[in-house]
Structure 1
């Protein structure tokens, strides 16, 4: 997706160019997918109310939304994971471990911005964070679905770290939940399982 559109979609609430409705964001994602599928797919969307909404919103937001920075800089092997990625992730993990969904959409938005700035190596994190943001903003949000999307995000971050030989920041550890066979990252030495929350907080083991 165009970087400017992505920045607009996940701008902080209340800021210039603040995000439109979930329906509109999904429409923009559909347009991006249609663009990859070919012109006929886009043609089917043109003329629809959703298409007109996107155009009107894009024009109104163009001057208000600043594109996210695209450094494309790959971290050096052995360096610590970027705090721009890990900090919002840990807030999401902590919320789910406490059986909460509040604030997750905003933190997923921060992850989208950080992953976009890192370029191609973080593409899977970018995609997973977008899907998590959409799940967290459902009305009402389904915590099971949010946890499922969080699992995909955790796998993407774990693969990113492994692929680039990065280390977690100091005090952050990687754990595995045997029930869902997915990793997660957390702070502290006491397990706080985000996939089962207060029901099974210590299910799992540190890697």
Structure 2
């Protein structure tokens, strides 16, 4: 079980985030005295820190700087402020990510999982959430959640998207996609694959992600991570 220190003075939001994180088996601690954040951090020794920018006494930048002077613990900023300078400042101070409020909780969870896996070499094949182009892809719920909303996919569509994401920025041939669906004991013809890909793109267009599934004529398809060509 990973321990998360949530530095948030809005008690309603704190409890909401804590409840959701607890459902994912994270141990969550808050701050009792916002003038003693570093001392409480040292006592808790969390695996990851979530910190708001606007806090009593001193702001989140101050405490990020103080924590960074003692530890390389992963830090994610949560902020309702939309100034680009805030994001730049947080990165310069050594934060690992910056999440704008209000946020989709699935996106936050996916970011937390990705950072924990990277920093602690934690691997769990059962993890259902993956991040792609800033969106959370839930392989169990068959959903894709971005800042612009959530779309529900069919089983075939999520399996196709999973194959593309697992090989992101690389071309996946039609034969590979058909074979992967056959391996899942699903009958998929070449025409069925085309229909499912078109439906997948159309749904992803609803949350501005359709452009990140590219067709490579004569080769196959590619899920782009970054700027589409």
- TM-score, length of structure 2 as denominator length: 0.30
Q: Which has the higher contact order (CA 8 A, sep 6+)?
A: 1
Q: Counting strand residues as a fraction of each chain, which structure ranks higher? A: 2
Q: Counting helix residues as a fraction of each chain, which structure ranks higher? A: 1
- TM-score, length of structure 1 as denominator length: 0.33
